[in-house]
Chain A
């Protein structure tokens, strides 16, 4: 893991001191809210419906146990004993007092964490594949370059007032777990003639105008990355629409100007920047890379795992859903579900955080990851240790065997917290999870991603949910639109709107009709919901959602 240099530490200390002074000036009345707001946003502090919210970056989703323990400490000392992990590998505290925020930021700095550029029209927290450095399918670990991008983008003088926010995601695997095609810039590490480089995707995004990103460069040599990124962002900075907030994201810039025009402008700018970078970036990367070296994996006999798998059905169910192949055959990647049935998706109590930190220290070479799907990952666990890890997780309500299933729902905070929301998300997620758990159907249903957003901004990624749910305000009542067939992987697809929305009380029965239709229509257990949807198209699922319309046609 990356260790802060003296420069990093000094930079963060100075930045936190600046913000402390800004908070003091706001409290004594010498700064108005209009003056203070851009300053607090630059430091991750929002004012939501009921309280302030501090959004802390977890760069590329990586934490060590000391950092996780510090997140727990913040939750206990300055919040209400929990934190909320988000779809962009951040953690949000929902109840800080304004006066306490500078102390929270200082406490974060003690373990090399910050909240810089988790808001505002800047380059946001760089996200990465949550299985980075561990996945069996990985070409290269994306985290060193993600760290390089973090350093380059932090306080970048040219990019502090972009037309709109700007999100970058990186993956080193062909199986895209980082939703790179729905980011302003997505980077996929690829290999060509034995040389590694990047496929550069630009102009993806969800929100009110969902778009799948387009490839601007099929192969960018590794060493050219930062000048090329800088070229893209600087072209966008000049061309992006500042006249209309809803047309200000780079996806609109690309759409309005065409990918060819953008590519030409970027390449021209890149030629200038390439020489200006003069290799300093690569020297820095060379210092960063060794810090992400894989741990010395300890070989262990897998017998304890095999025994538990054969004899303990609860362990087996968990192993079947929550484990992923590790690049070391005698290790596994453990996904810890923060989606216990009926719980708030992505929330972890301080006790749970501490337990996960302890497990990471004891069994996972001191590493944790946060996924954009709002779960926590122990990236390297010897299979021999899995029964002990599972037993420990059970004691804290963290052993739910539902990764990738219908109750592993992404949900934004919605109108329970967010000032932008038009409807609630959390109670919908809770209801769906509880209902399908009671029906004992979720393992039979198999892989199915439900994603819920409480407004058109789509923080809950509903556009790329196999079933997407969008909460809206229709004439003063919460109303939920369903989209079908979305996919956030390397085959990214924006879901199709199924039809008119549902009132909150009608939504759960509609979802159940949809799922039961899938169970009847599928060719077998191997055909997932998404496969069946792709084979059959939207019609039979629409018919299940809107039986009245079907009956009317039949009459």
Chain B
């Protein structure tokens, strides 16, 4: 059987639109390294439902592929890497400083 690619639940914050990640203790963090890494498909679906239910806080929740590392989860796709960092032409968004939602 194909090995399950680890996932995180990510979305955009309703009020600011910023990229956010679901943590294991049910917070939304702006930092990928704080995200809960999901190793099981069924749990992934449940956590996604938990996220999608929060219609007054988040928009467009989905599961994104990650790889585990000593520094926490790392994005698999470059799109997720840009979402994690912010734009490359200005130090705006997350590059201006990070705080929890």
Contacts and interface: CB of A to CB of B under 8 A. Distances in A.
Interface of A: 26-29, 32-33, 47-52, 80, 94-95, 97-99, 344, 415-417, 424, 426-427, 430, 473, 476-478
B58 to A, nearest CB: 9
Given A98-B17, A415-B82, A427-B88, 16 more contacts: A29-B55, A33-B60, A47-B12, A47-B60, A49-B79, A49-B83, A50-B18, A50-B92, A52-B16, A95-B93, A97-B17, A98-B15, A344-B90, A416-B89, A473-B79, A477-B78
Nearest to B19: A50
A287 to B, nearest CB: 41
A47 B60 CA distance: 10
A478 B82 CA distance: 12
A225 B48 CA distance: 52
B17 A51 contact: yes
Given A29-B56, A50-B94, A415 B17 contact: no
**8 tightest CB-CB pairs across the interface, nearest first?**
A29-B56, A416-B87, A51-B17, A52-B17, A50-B93, A344-B89, A426-B89, A32-B55
B59 interface: yes
Contacts of A430: 89
Contacts of B82: 49, 415-416, 424
A424 B88 contact: yes
Contacts of B79: 49, 415, 473
Contact of A27 (B18, B56, B77, B90): B56
A351 to B, nearest CB: 15
A33 B15 contact: no
18 contacts: A26-B14, A27-B15, A47-B12, A48-B17, A49-B83, A50-B18, A50-B19, A50-B93, A50-B94, A95-B92, A97-B17, A344-B89, A416-B89, A417-B87, A426-B89, A430-B89, A473-B79, A477-B78
Contacts of B17: 47-48, 50-52, 97-98
Nearest to B58: A33
Contacts of B44: none
Contacts of A478: 78
A400 B24 CA distance: 52
A50 B86 contact: yes
Contacts of B93: 50-51, 95
B76 interface: yes
Contact of B55 (A33, A48, A49, A50): A33
